[in-house]
Structure 1
Amino acid sequence: MTERPDLSTKLDAATFRSYYYLKEELVSFCRENGLPASGGKEEITERIACYLDTGRINPVKKVSKSRKEVGVITEQTIIEPDFVCSEKHRAFFKEKIGNSFSFPVAFQKWLKTNSGKTYAQAIEAYYQILEEKKKGKTVIDRQFEYNTYIRDFFEANPGKTLQQAIACWKYKKALPGHNRYEDADLTAVKDL
């Protein structure tokens, strides 16, 4: 097995992209090399790749954070632009849906992309999202590679343990290439 290279300025972007690095490692690299360390993992990855290939530091995209205070929420209230999950929103949905309410990622995305609709429509969407989740595999966003890997590991190996899944993940992320589960990763747990 090849050793994953340390994240340094000696890497080129292609090599860097072919290995898995934690967000903490990416942020540390940025700070050590004078790059902005803000943003999500994908944004930081792009910034580092550009820097490794060109030596240029791409500016951070400014996001305006001027948000209006949310007033009283009713079912007829319109979902505000730039929706942010707050305690006020959580209290509203718990009152309407029940104490089992949570903000699953799919529902958060729905709320953020459906400003202008009513909270009554949001409640309907919540129940629809729960039904869809029961029917099949949910989509995990690209930046959550670990979660996707662990889910796929257990789907392919129902009798295995979390310890074995984590051992396979550690083995996989040290290899160049993609970080999706493959049966060949089980070589990491032959001794467990």
Structure 2
Amino acid sequence: MSANEGESRPALTPALTGAELGRWYWTLAELNALAREMGLSAGGGKTAVTARLAAALDGLPPEPAAPAASAVRRSGRQLAAPVDGATVIPPGQRCSQLLREFFVREIGPGFHFDAFMRDYVAQGAGRTLAEAVAHWHATRARAAEPQEVGAQFEFNRFLPTGTPPAPTAPAPKPWPPGRPTGPAPATDRTRPAGAAYGRP
């Protein structure tokens, strides 16, 4: 339907302009059909296909799709042994076992990949491992401070801490006042052997 009353929706063809495309409602199937007709990629959601079509209808080059973060990590060259302080961190380097062994040698057994070091390795392309060691020592004071709880762990702040106390058995009820506390008294009333119940 059109936003302007009394107008009819035009046919979805390559003769439209990008502005005309944006004025009307189109289903994703219709947009995908036009994209294939124009030799464009029909991948992505409705917003991406619409933007791709609008640019093509106006004669503009399509915006290049940003590579997925996982693809960037996979394509990055990883360091291989041997490494030393002069080794340069390449783009996409992971916090690998090779780096862990190097930092333990240089820093000591107390080294671990905390948030400061993970960020440094992930964003430190072009820096050396010696600079990474210096970054470790420079961030120890901040690392010792209480860190803000991440949004994904916010619920944990409302959980009780520590071990819950073990359940205890209820206390015995007090003995009624005035009731004897010894064993029940013996009685001399006995029923003769063979006597039937309910008879005098």
Q: TM-score, length-normalised on structure 1?
A: 0.43
- Which is bigger in relative contact order (C-alpha 8 A, separation at least 6)? 1
> Higher Cα Rg: structure 1 or 2?
2
Bigger helix fraction: 1
